[in-house]
Chain A
Amino acid sequence: MSSALIELRDVSKTYSTAAGDFTALVNVNLKIDAGEFLGIVGKSGAGKSTLLNMLNGVDQLTSGEVIVSANGESVSVHRMSEDQLASWRGKNIGVIYQSFQLLPMLTLLENIILPMDLSNAYHPRKSKERALELLQLVEIEDHAHKLPAHISGGQQQRVAIARALANDPPILIVDEPTGSLDSVTAEHIFDVFEHLVHDKGKTIVMVTHDSGLASRFSRSLTIADGALLEQRSA
């Protein structure tokens, strides 16, 4: 039984390509504790996104194991069936990507409600209430009835964060969240993440190519050629 929230044990991932096998991750061992804001920094192609896809079971691993102990239940992520995995992921993991992927024809509020309705996690009347709470959490409730086109990129990313929090997952997995934002806006998005870690007890694993962000994490690791290189505490 693992005491860490997330534990990767000797995780390797090899892709078969036309040009031969490509090893994206090599024997990765990593423990992530609850309440950490962990940054994984690496260049394009270093294995960052593959690593994230291992954590949430989106992609299969070639060898090793990923154990997640959240919501009072410890699971070996890659031993679950597709259905079990989907339901587990819905309860435990929120995802945020560089492109916000808001539906442009829906208001901000509807953008948050829609996936909640689809997962049937909340009663329709409750889901609207919950969505408004989440918009408040990311300080954008004044714009609830606007379409995404009418707010800034930074505000759109806040909505995407609110949407990821819809089912109140303990873990947030974040891929280059500020990649398409200017530096001032990026700072504000980091403030939101810090608030979620410090005040809401969330655990965040974020990958980025921007080594300048390392100081914002509670711990940062470097990944290169599929291997974790160094470990330093901020």
Chain B
Amino acid sequence: MKTLQENLVLVDDMIAIRGVVKKFSAAAGEVTVLKSVSLTIQRGEFVSIVGKSGSGKSTLLNMVTGIDHPTDGKVVVNGTDIYTGVSESQRSKWRGKNLGIVFQFFQLLPMLTLLENVMLPMDYADLYDFDSRPQRAMELLKLVGLEKFANKLPVLVSTGQQQLAAIARAMACDPPLLVADEPTGNLDSRSADTIIQLFESFVAQGKTIVMVTHDPSLTSRTHRNVIIFDGELIDETISRALPQLRHRHLLELTKLAETRAYQPNETIVARDQRMDYFFMIRKGEVEVTLQDKQNQERSLSNLSKGEFFGEVELVRDGKSIANVRAGNQPVEAVAVPHADFIRVMNESPIAAEAVGKIASRRQAIA
């Protein structure tokens, strides 16, 4: 059942995906590529979507662009519910004004010069005065450093330059949202870096960018990293806290997770309380304190977004040896049952080692 909060779409939301299901019919029967996916992306965010081949990441992106249609659920982009009562041609018009799209294979028209390629969306959306279009296209080519090649056909410039031209074209109608599917997948690392710098400059100007990629050097440069596995989204707090885990395990924990909210200064775990959960912080800060030999309360650490507590090192005989309370702001945490956490750790030695290292570093400071 959907909660009210899940259905809510706020003004600040650039993209609100709610309960989206996508099924395809294949020779072997029906395949469900997206299994009730909900995701909110706010204005001005730079978000990467990652996932293995076949995980559903491109399908998810196609739900935002309207290139493919959901079997069920709702997608609101820049305030428009794009699948409810909207015809294909209305959606096409809407897209022209709201969305820039960049693909791995650049889709430049081979018989048009770079300048003409950049002018295409302005012609199609019938935006900007006819006579001002070449000048605007030239400014965009300048922005991506291609003004010298404006009158060349795509075949005569490098693949990196073709992708830059495709980005200039995507920005032709000054859309608030840029959607990119593996934009650097076909490029060397230097060209890829140029493109990410360009994206960063767009974000600095207030654009929202959503990018599908499998390149870890790109995901580290986005505000958020959304992981999709087998048609379902992994909780971002969990993937941030336990980045070494396999996607399969991350999804397993996502399904077991409960969200907990705490008031400022509220005790989250009291000493000697049974530790039934492992916690990861989604919002706010918590303070972890230990009692020293003189029975003095000593601060062990302050933890914030993406950090965790309740791991083995703070637990003795199933009970907490530490006090954990919320800081001066409200705290939101994700809790997974301790027994499940231990089981997943036992199956993931690399993640267990990483968690162990962080825990012993904290204790060393104490």
Residues of A within 8 A of B (CB): 49, 53, 58-59, 82, 86, 89-90, 94-95, 97, 99, 101-107, 110, 114-115, 117-118, 145, 147, 149-150, 164
B68 touches A118 (CB 8 A): no
A29 to chain B, nearest CB (A): 24
Set B88, B106, B112, B151: member contacting A118, Cβ < 8 A: B112
B219 to chain A, nearest CB (A): 24
B110: chain A residues at CB < 8 Å are 95, 97, 101
Set B96, B124, B153: member contacting A58, Cβ < 8 A: B153
B366 to chain A, nearest CB (A): 56
Interface positions of B from 119 to 158, Cβ below 8 Å from A: 119-120, 123-124, 151, 153, 155-156
B10: chain A residues at CB < 8 Å are none
Determine the distance from Cα of A96 to Cα of B102 in the docked complex, in whole angstroms. Answer: 21
A145 to chain B, nearest CB (A): 7
Given contacts A101-B110, A106-B124, 18 further A-B contacts (CB under 8 A): A53-B156, A58-B153, A58-B156, A59-B156, A86-B113, A90-B111, A95-B111, A97-B110, A102-B107, A103-B109, A104-B101, A105-B92, A106-B92, A107-B88, A110-B124, A114-B123, A118-B112, A118-B119
A117 touches B123 (CB 8 A): yes
A95: chain B residues at CB < 8 Å are 110-111
Closest 5 CB pairs of A and B: A149-B67, A95-B110, A101-B107, A99-B105, A58-B153
B67 touches A82 (CB 8 A): no
A89, A101, A145: residue with the most chain B Cβ atoms closer than 10 Å? A101
Determine the distance from Cα of A126 to Cα of B298 in the docked complex, in whole angstroms. Answer: 82
Determine the distance from Cα of A106 to Cα of B66 in the docked complex, in whole angstroms. Answer: 11
A101 touches B65 (CB 8 A): no
A56 to chain B, nearest CB (A): 9
Determine the distance from Cα of A104 to Cα of B181 in the docked complex, in whole angstroms. Answer: 12
A144 to chain B, nearest CB (A): 12
B112 touches A115 (CB 8 A): yes
A146 to chain B, nearest CB (A): 9
Determine the distance from Cα of A150 to Cα of B101 in the docked complex, in whole angstroms. Answer: 17
- Contacts known (A107-B88, A114-B123, A149-B68); A101 close to B109, Cβ less than 8 A: yes
A107 touches B101 (CB 8 A): no
B106: chain A residues at CB < 8 Å are 101
The answer to whether B103 has its CB under 8 Å from any CB of chain A is yes
B120 touches A114 (CB 8 A): yes
Instruction: Name which residue of chain A comes closest to B96, CB basis.
Output: A105
Instruction: Name which residue of chain B comes closest to A149, CB basis.
Output: B67
Determine the distance from Cα of A104 to Cα of B124 in the docked complex, in whole angstroms. Answer: 14
A110: chain B residues at CB < 8 Å are 92, 124
B65 touches A105 (CB 8 A): yes
The answer to whether B20 has its CB under 8 Å from any CB of chain A is no
A53: chain B residues at CB < 8 Å are 155-156
Chain B residue total in the interface (Cβ 8 A): 30
Determine the distance from Cα of A118 to Cα of B112 in the docked complex, in whole angstroms. Answer: 9
B108: chain A residues at CB < 8 Å are 101
B65, B110, B111, B124: residue with the most chain A Cβ atoms closer than 10 Å? B111
A105 touches B101 (CB 8 A): yes
A105 touches B95 (CB 8 A): yes
The answer to whether B307 has its CB under 8 Å from any CB of chain A is no
A209 to chain B, nearest CB (A): 17
Determine the distance from Cα of A82 to Cα of B149 in the docked complex, in whole angstroms. Answer: 13
B112: chain A residues at CB < 8 Å are 115, 118
A171 to chain B, nearest CB (A): 13
A89: chain B residues at CB < 8 Å are 111
A118 touches B116 (CB 8 A): yes
A115 to chain B, nearest CB (A): 6
B67 touches A105 (CB 8 A): yes
Instruction: Name which residue of chain B comes closest to A164, CB basis.
Output: B111
Determine the distance from Cα of A105 to Cα of B91 in the docked complex, in whole angstroms. Answer: 10
B111 touches A145 (CB 8 A): no
The answer to whether B62 has its CB under 8 Å from any CB of chain A is yes
A58: chain B residues at CB < 8 Å are 153, 155-156
Determine the distance from Cα of A110 to Cα of B105 in the docked complex, in whole angstroms. Answer: 19
A168 to chain B, nearest CB (A): 14
Instruction: Name which residue of chain A comes closest to B58, CB basis.
Output: A149
A115: chain B residues at CB < 8 Å are 109, 111-112
B67: chain A residues at CB < 8 Å are 104-105, 147, 149
A82: chain B residues at CB < 8 Å are 151
B156: chain A residues at CB < 8 Å are 53, 58-59
B95 touches A118 (CB 8 A): no
A107 touches B111 (CB 8 A): no
Determine the distance from Cα of A147 to Cα of B69 in the docked complex, in whole angstroms. Answer: 11
A118 touches B101 (CB 8 A): no
A106: chain B residues at CB < 8 Å are 92, 124
B111 to chain A, nearest CB (A): 6
Determine the distance from Cα of A29 to Cα of B155 in the docked complex, in whole angstroms. Answer: 24
Determine the distance from Cα of A89 to Cα of B116 in the docked complex, in whole angstroms. Answer: 15
Determine the distance from Cα of A150 to Cα of B62 in the docked complex, in whole angstroms. Answer: 11
Determine the distance from Cα of A107 to Cα of B112 in the docked complex, in whole angstroms. Answer: 19
Instruction: Name which residue of chain A comes closest to B119, CB basis.
Output: A118
